[in-house]
Amino acid sequence: MRLAKYLAAAGVASRRKAEKIIAAGRVAVGGNTVTVPQYRITEEDQVTVDGRAVRLPEKKEYLLLDKPAGYLSTVSDPHGRPTVLELIGPSPARLYPVGRLDLDTTGLLLLTDDGELAFRLTHPRFGVEKKYRAWVKGVPPPAVLTRMGQGMLLEDGPTAPATVRLLRRSRGSAVLEISLCEGRKRQVKRMCAAAGYPVRRLRRTGFAFLTAAGLESGTYRRLSEAEVRRLYRLVGLAAPMP
Ligand code: URA
């Protein structure tokens, strides 16, 4: 990579400004001052600006998994139960799940080693929507759906407004779609139980703009750069370096 491009990718300055910094003799490669912006460097080269080391940001990983039931959304389990990381296989990145799905919940789970993005995607302040499909016992009438959407009092406080829709009904059971911007422990199950309609099966079908389209249960895919940039924008972060 050319030196000026490297400095720009490392976030030192824009490419144009980096060229000026180099021309001014402020940049050294392997301890030797280099004043040519086109100078080519390799991965092993030590680059300094004004004597301070400059490094490229580490490449982060962003994986979208369709979690099957029976896997814990943790990195490891003291009891040796299977975790979602076993579905990913060995990775040099220190991946962890963004938020949690219960052992028996299926569906979308993002895994990354990008701590700031993970924090913002799960914190209710940033309002990122997660969509669930809940198979419940009983058929809640419209008034109950409205009440669930307006906010329910759970033991850890009232829930924020949510969107709750009846997707299907049959004798004695129903399928609901519930969209939340919070992610409290077992929140969907507790909301439904508190309303009198216990969840029999739960699946996360949406995470921000991401869906499980093209994914099979137990498989994952890498997010595209455009998807990562879109997630960054969604939570008010400056786009990561290409
Ligand atoms: N709400 C729940 O009750 N369980 C989950 O796994 C996710 C959301």
Per-residue pLDDT, averaged over 163-169, amounts to 98
Pocket test for ligand 1, best of 84, 105, 207 (most atoms within 8 A of CB): 105
Pocket test for ligand 1, best of 131, 189, 191, 203 (most atoms within 8 A of CB): 189
Question: What are the C-alpha distances in Å from 238 to residues 45, 74, 84, 117, 124?
Answer: 28, 28, 29, 11, 19
Which residue's CA is minimally distant from atom 2 of ligand 1? 186
With pLDDT > 90 as the criterion, what percentage of the chain qualifies? 87
The dotted CATH code for 129-207 is 3.30.70.1560
Indicate the fold that domain 62-124+209-234 takes in CATH. Answer: Alpha-Beta Plaits (3.30.70)
What is the atom index within ligand 1 of the atom nearest the CA of 190?
3
> Ligand 1 centre from 155 Cα, in Å?
16
Per-residue pLDDT of 9-37, as tens digits, reads 888 999 999 999 999 999 999 999 999 99
Per-residue pLDDT of 178-208, as tens digits, reads 999 998 999 999 999 999 999 999 999 999 9
Per-residue pLDDT, averaged over 209-219, amounts to 96
* CA dist., res. 151 & res. 153, Å (int): 7
User: Annotated catalytic, 102?
Assistant: yes
pLDDT at residue 241 in the model: 56
* CA dist., res. 227 & res. 213, Å (int): 14
Q: What is the DSSP string of 11-77?
A: TSS-HHHHHHHHHTT-EEETTEE---TT-B--TT--EEETTEEE-PPPPP-EEEEEEPTT-BSSS--
Residue 202 CB–ligand 1 contact under 6 Å: yes
Give residue limits of the domains in the chain: 3-54, 62-124+209-234, 129-207
> Ligand 1 centre from 147 Cα, in Å?
19
- What is the reported pTM? 0.81
Residue 184 CB–ligand 1 contact under 6 Å: no
Written out in words, the top-level CATH class of the domain with range 3-54 is alpha beta
Do 129-207 and 62-124+209-234 have the same topology in CATH? yes
Question: What are the C-alpha distances in Å from 97 to residues 16, 73, 122, 181?
Answer: 39, 6, 11, 17
Q: How far apart are the first and last CA of the chain?
A: 14
Count the Cβ atoms, other than its own, within 10 Å of residue 175: 16
Burial of 221 (C-beta count, 10 Å sphere; 0-12/13-18/19+) = middle
Q: For residue 93, is pLDDT > 90? A: no
Residue 162 CB–ligand 1 contact under 6 Å: no
> Ligand 1 centre from 202 Cα, in Å?
7
Pocket test for ligand 1, best of 186, 190, 192, 204 (most atoms within 8 A of CB): 186
Query: Which distant-in-sequence residues (6+ apart) come within 8 Å of 34 by Cβ?
Result: 3, 22, 27, 28
Residue 101 CB–ligand 1 contact under 6 Å: yes
Residue 189 CB–ligand 1 contact under 6 Å: yes
Question: What are the C-alpha distances in Å from 73 to residues 21, 22, 67, 103, 215?
Answer: 47, 47, 9, 7, 18
